[in-house]
Every structure is written in C-alpha cells, then in structure tokens.
A and B are shown apart, each in its own frame.
Chain A
C-alpha cells in the first residue's frame, strides 16, 4: 500500500489496483453521507479528480494517486457510504488499471506517510 499527501491510499493486487482514503482522511471528514462514484472506463492522469466524498461537515475531492483507467467503482458505497468511516483501509472507492507503475515510486510508504502526518501535526 502506498500513500499520497492528499491522504489517498493505493494498493496493487495482481493486474488491478484499488484506491481509497486513509484513516486520517475519514477522521477529518467526519461522518460520510455520500460518495459520488467514479465513472467506469474513465481515463485519468495522476492528480486528476477521481470522485467526490461528502460528509456532514464538508465535501472533498479524491485525486488519482497515479495515472490509470477506472475499471469499477465500489457500488456498495451508494447505499452505505459510512463503510469508509468504519473500515477506511478495507473499503475501496475505485478499482483501476495503472498506466505506468513507476509512478507508484512517487508515493509514500506507510512509514513515510506516518512521518508526514506527524510533521503536519507539528
């Protein structure tokens, strides 16, 4: 699992990769009430908006950690967006095919991300 500075995670499994938001992100958002799911077959560049999440507090955009094509959005979230709050690392937003796997190297490892959070908190 790799992490972005915008608090997304990406996990490679076989030929696909899964994208979600981190525990820190779901805590900051508070109770999530709606997820505007990504469209399938959408081709996106690294940093493009993948989808949007709405919580009782605010609305936030989720960005693509790497460039790729959306294969499937997690339809379960349509009726149960709170799953992201309950299990942020077990709940994906979209399944994608990565264009260029070297882009993963731009992202943080778990240790680096934790350090990043600590430095942000200071």
Chain B
C-alpha cells in the first residue's frame, strides 16, 4: 500500500514559498484560536505530486479497459463531449447572471429537455435532479402531487418489483410511501396476477425499469400499464436501463407516465466516482404543471426561467442542476443523432447477447432467452460442485485485468453476476472477455484454490470487506505521545 501523505511528513518541509506579506499582522483573540497544532503534513511539492500521481495510477476506469459493470452502463464517453462542456462560455457562467446574458445557456437546456422528451415520448422535462435516485424521488413527488391535486389522499403505497434497483424502494420511501413488493414470475418478468391482486385504490403506482434488472424486456408492459391505470395509479419508468431502447421504444408508448434519465450513464459522462451526475425527469402532458420550478421556457425567440408555476412541487436542487453534465448529454445527443442513438442501443443489445452466447456452456443462465443490454448469469453450478462463489470468480477477473461485473444483484438470482458490455466495446474485446470467463469456469473445476485466494496480480489482494464495512478507518490520527 502507498504511504499516507501524513507519514511522508518531515518537520520543516514546505511545498510553497510566498513573498513576505506586506499586510501588518494581527493578533487574534486567544479564545478564537486552536490550542493544538493542525497536524497538516509537511511535504515538498515533489512529494505531493508523486504521492497523488502514484495513487491515481492505481485507479481503474473505462479509459483503461473493459468495465462490464451490470446496471451501470460503463460505456466509453467520447472526449468531444468533454471539450464542449469545457467551453469557456459554459464554464464561466454564473447562476445569478440575468437571463438576457445567458440566452445560449438557456437554449441549450431547453433543447436538451426537448430531446429527452422526444426520446421518451413525454411532454415536459426538468433538468434539476443531480443523480438517478434524485430523479426517482422527484418523479415520485410528482406522482404524489398528482394524486393530492385530485384530492385523492388515501394512496399510501407504492409497488416495486422484487428485482428492482434498490434505489426504487428507497426513493419511494423517502417520498413518504409504504413499499409493497410484487414478485417476478418464472420468466423473470412482473407477475401480472400478483400485480393485479396488489393494485388497489390505496396504491399510488408502480415503479418499473424496462428492460428490467435481469436484462429482460417486460413484454406484458401494456397489460401492466392497464392494470395500474385502471386502479387510478401512475406508472414510473426507472431510466437506468434506457441504454437498451433509445430510438426503438418509447416509455410513453409503453404506458409510462413519469420517467427519469441517468444522463451520466446513457448520455456520456464519466461516472462511478461519486458524481457529478444528472437525473432529469420527463412527464406526460397533464403532469407538466407539477414539475419542479423553475422550468426553462421559450417565448418567441426569448428563453426564460419560469418561476410562476403554482402546482410545481418546488425546487429539488439549488439553481438548475448539474449544468455541465447536461451539456455533455446535449453534445452526445447532437453528435450521435437519432440514427446514432438507435444504433448505440442495438449494438448494446447485440453485445450483451454475444457474451451470453459465448459463456453459455460454462455457466447457468437462469433466464435463458434473448436479453436486452445486459444479462445475469448464475454461478450456482460452480458453487455447488466446486465450492467456488461468484465473489471468487469476480475477484479472479481482476487478475485478467477486468473490472468485475455487478455481483449478487438482482437478489432473486442465486450467485448472480450481471454483465453489461455496452455498445462501445469491439468484438475483439468481447471475445477476450468471454475467453477469460470460460477459463475461470475451468479453473473453478481444476484449481479452486487459485480462485479462493484471488486476486493474485493486483496492487492489493483480497480485502476483508466485512471489516472494511464494519470498522472503516476514515481519517488519519496523529499518534499521541504517552
């Protein structure tokens, strides 16, 4: 492990030299000053540069290699989108600038909202939410506002499938709903009869992602929409899996009422490091009035922020959201064009099916039919026959130079491993990855110890994840002299 920068500290070392101050010094009252020393590391400039450069080289990102992390859409993000978002006209904006000075910036936001509506078939958009789950919460608050506005106040429940992203129940609970789980059927789809039995006039709606987390298209989606709508509920689309359907199917046409995007996933922003993200929400026509305010509007040739919206749920973010992330999304949409977006989704689906077909003989595929942009395999055979868990195999993938896929999700698959290659990977990359997975399946049989102890070639070996989660050491503390 690299030394902490605190341990590199040598008394008197310093990484800067400033000219002597010409401002007279001023003594601060003792009651405002700290008694102990601040314990900042004393290091030279070269120490700082080497320390952080070396740490950064231990990172792994999609610019270095394949990153098939299911549900996360770790596609390559074209650098031209970064260039556009880095234009000074965007980076130097101030949110308090008067509207007449920022017409171009407002136009960019307005047009992005329009494109997002076109992709989803919806009628209005807010770009405020800062991330996917934030978008979910905003969408659910809009659903709540819709019911309350109709004086329909007995709806206290939200239905979520047992295969849902964990954020779905969390977002609905944050918005004040009681969560009701609907189970999946043998095909891995929402159990229609179970849904019909649960849906009543106390249920606000259903949150769904389509394709679902098993990478399967909910082929009964119009029936599902009817069941929910017939009982007065609304249908929420979790846009986490939008990468499978752009330009091919629109959530509105499937019967969805509210949808969020993960712009950072589908629309080209490097993600996985904790943000910034962007989770715009689009809604059908009669829900537009509930969107958070302000909404970017157009009057003739003039763009403006409309604050005068009495039914709006309020603000969900300071200012207008993570602006530069949506500039990247706009650049992505414009450079791809409608045909390019469609091609991206088609290729994403093709790539996932290609990997699934390539590893079929080595692993159990619990839902064995064409998948969408991702699929879930089960390591149950390796577990039962050789005592090798999916965790062991994921760790072994690190030795082969890959970021491992998502594991143990969705919860309904035993020893699950969820693989999402995305459209930006070549056949050569996919072939090598298939070869690695098949090799690992063989190793499970011939050399289980190798997998038990994996990874072997990485900077750090197998970590004690339980202790790390239970007793994380989050800050450095100076050793006290006895």
Contacts and interface: CB of A to CB of B under 8 A. Distances in A.
B466 interface: yes
A30 B465 contact: no
B415 interface: yes
Nearest to B166: A58
Nearest to A34: B466
A5 B318 CA distance: 45
Given A30-B414, A30-B415, A56 B391 contact: yes
A58 B389 contact: no
Nearest to A31: B389
Nearest to B183: A120
A96 interface: no
Interface residues of B, number: 12
A33 B389 CA distance: 13
B329 to A, nearest CB: 33
B299 to A, nearest CB: 51
B470 A34 contact: yes
Interface in A40-82: 54, 56-58
A33 B411 contact: no
Contacts of B469: 54
Contacts of B414: 30
Contacts of A30: 408, 414-415
Contacts of A54: 466, 469
Interface string B396-411: 0000000000011101
Nearest to B390: A56
B465 A58 contact: no
A56 B470 contact: no
Contacts of B411: 57-58
Nearest to B415: A30
Contacts, number: 20
Nearest to A59: B469
A33 B415 contact: no
Between A30, A31, A54, the greatest number of chain B beta carbons within 10 A of the residue's beta carbon is seen for A30
A60 to B, nearest CB: 11
Contacts of A34: 466, 470
Contact of A57 (B408, B465, B466, B470): B408
Contacts of A31: 389, 391
A38 B442 CA distance: 42
A33 B466 contact: yes
A73 to B, nearest CB: 16
A68 B411 CA distance: 32
Nearest to B412: A28
Contacts of B407: 56
B236 to A, nearest CB: 23
Contacts of A58: 408, 411
Nearest to B408: A57
A33 B469 CA distance: 11
Contacts of B466: 33-34, 54
A58 B466 CA distance: 12
A30 B466 CA distance: 15
Contacts of B465: 33
Contacts of A33: 465-466
B1 to A, nearest CB: 23
A7 to B, nearest CB: 15
A121 to B, nearest CB: 10
Between A31, A54, A57, A58, the greatest number of chain B beta carbons within 10 A of the residue's beta carbon is seen for A57
A58 B407 CA distance: 11
A120 to B, nearest CB: 9
B182 to A, nearest CB: 14
A57 B379 CA distance: 13
B180 to A, nearest CB: 15
Interface in A8-45: 30-31, 33-34
- What 3 A-B pairs have minimum CB-CB distances, sorted nearest first? A57-B408, A34-B466, A33-B466
Given A30-B414, A30-B415, A58-B408, 16 more contacts: A30-B408, A31-B389, A31-B391, A33-B465, A33-B466, A34-B466, A34-B470, A54-B469, A56-B389, A56-B391, A56-B407, A56-B408, A57-B408, A57-B409, A57-B411, A58-B411
16 contacts: A30-B408, A30-B414, A30-B415, A31-B389, A31-B391, A33-B465, A33-B466, A34-B466, A34-B470, A54-B466, A54-B469, A56-B391, A57-B408, A57-B409, A57-B411, A58-B411
